[in-house]
């Protein structure tokens, strides 16, 4: 049977480098890339993730490769469901760094692989919450030193030009122009609806002035 390999890449923030994952790409692989997509978002709701699942069901893919298992997700429940879906479709998932392939040559999941997938998915979720707690703790510590903390001052107003120069603002405006909905943008970029609406309003006002 002809090997039709899919390589799935993901970064949780659109500013993060995806280069280390791209270095693993081999000739002939079909690439599915989610940039700036949180691992907490269900695999089936991600743009590239949903496309990969659809192609698997159509029989266009018979092997999936990721650099690490956590690229598939940071939620233990969703990660297990995603891997189970691939197993039901008889499509093996290979994690390069962990050296795991979910199915054997006969298309069956081994007990050892099942145990490792459950363990790794639980660890992935654990590290997500641990990193988040460290980040929040760091912010709280920084707030104790007003001279060094650079959080936004309550009641302050940001210039339109400075707001539009922010990378996230640029990304939101770009996605709006490409037809992405507000909810979709919030899920993918992990931002608030208010920020998306502000970008939309500022962009429309700027366009009206130029027009």
pLDDT in tens, the chain (211 residues): 688 999 999 987 755 668 888 888 999 999 999 988 888 889 999 999 999 999 999 999 999 999 998 899 888 788 888 988 998 999 999 999 988 888 988 888 877 777 777 776 676 667 666 766 766 766 666 667 666 555 554 444 567 778 888 888 888 888 888 888 888 888 788 788 888 888 888 887 777 665 5
Q: For residue 109, how far is the Cα from the chain centroid?
A: 26
Spatial distance between the Cα atoms of 77 and 91, rounded to a whole number of angstroms: 19
Spatial distance between the Cα atoms of 127 and 76, rounded to a whole number of angstroms: 11
Do 43 and 111 belong together in one domain? yes
Spatial distance between the Cα atoms of 44 and 84, rounded to a whole number of angstroms: 13
Residue 139 lies in a domain: no
* Listed residues 103, 122, 141: the one ending a domain: 122
Six-digit token string for 156: 């302050």
Q: b/e string for 160-184 if b means 16 or more Cβ within 10 A?
A: eeeeeeeebbebbbebbeeebebee
* Listed residues 94, 122, 150: the one ending a domain: 122
Six-digit token string for 128: 């997500």
| Residue 155: predicted pLDDT | 46
Do 171 and 94 belong together in one domain? no
Q: For residue 177, how far is the Cα from the chain centroid?
A: 21
Residue 85 lies in a domain: yes
Do 182 and 112 belong together in one domain? no
Do 96 and 194 belong together in one domain? no
Residue 153 lies in a domain: no
Do 164 and 118 belong together in one domain? no
Spatial distance between the Cα atoms of 190 and 137, rounded to a whole number of angstroms: 20
| Residue 67: predicted pLDDT | 93
* Listed residues 122, 141, 172: the one ending a domain: 122
Element (H, E) at 57: helix 47-57
| Residue 156: predicted pLDDT | 46
| Residue 125: predicted pLDDT | 66
Residues 6+ apart with CB under 8 A from 64: 5, 6, 7, 8, 52, 56, 86, 91, 92, 93, 94
Residue 155 lies in a domain: no
Spatial distance between the Cα atoms of 109 and 91, rounded to a whole number of angstroms: 10
Residue 128 lies in a domain: no
Six-digit token string for 167: 């990378």
Residue 147 lies in a domain: no
CATH classification of the domain holding 19? 3.40.50.1390
Residue 21 lies in a domain: yes
Q: Where are the beta strands (DSSP E) in 11-126?
A: 30-34, 63-66, 93-95, 100-101
Do 25 and 91 belong together in one domain? yes
Residue 170 sits in which domain range?
A: 160-210
| Residue 110: predicted pLDDT | 75
Residue 78 lies in a domain: yes
Helix (H, G, I), strand (E, B) or coil at 89: coil
Do 96 and 187 belong together in one domain? no
Q: b/e string for 17-42 if b means 16 or more Cβ within 10 A?
A: ebeebeeeeeeebeebebbbbbbebb
Do 92 and 190 belong together in one domain? no
Do 109 and 172 belong together in one domain? no
Six-digit token string for 131: 């990193």
| Residue 203: predicted pLDDT | 80
Number of domains within the chain:
2
Do 117 and 169 belong together in one domain? no
């Amino acid at each position: 049977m002809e090997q039709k390999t899919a390589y799935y890449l993901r970064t949780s923030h659109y500013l993060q480098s995806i280069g280390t994952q791209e270095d693993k790409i081999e000739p002939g692989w079909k690439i599915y890339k989610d940039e700036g997509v949180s691992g907490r978002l269900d695999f089936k709701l991600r743009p590239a993730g949903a496309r990969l699942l659809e192609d698997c069901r159509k029989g266009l893919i018979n092997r999936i490769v990721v650099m690490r298992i956590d690229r598939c997700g940071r939620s233990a429940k969703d990660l297990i469901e995603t891997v189970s879906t691939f197993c039901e479709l008889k499509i093996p998932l290979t994690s390069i760094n962990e050296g795991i392939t979910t199915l054997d040559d006969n298309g069956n999941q081994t007990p050892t692989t099942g145990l490792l997938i459950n363990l790794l998915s639980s660890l992935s979720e654990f590290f997500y919450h641990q990193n988040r707690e460290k980040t929040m703790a760091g912010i709280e510590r920084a707030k104790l030193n007003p001279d060094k903390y650079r959080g936004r001052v309550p009641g302050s107003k940001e210039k339109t030009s400075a707001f539009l120069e922010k990378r996230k603002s640029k990304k939101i405006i770009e996605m709006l122009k490409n037809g992405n909905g507000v909810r979709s943008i919030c899920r993918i970029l992990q931002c608030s609806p208010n920020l998306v609406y502000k970008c939309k309003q500022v962009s429309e006002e700027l366009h009206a002035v130029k027009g």
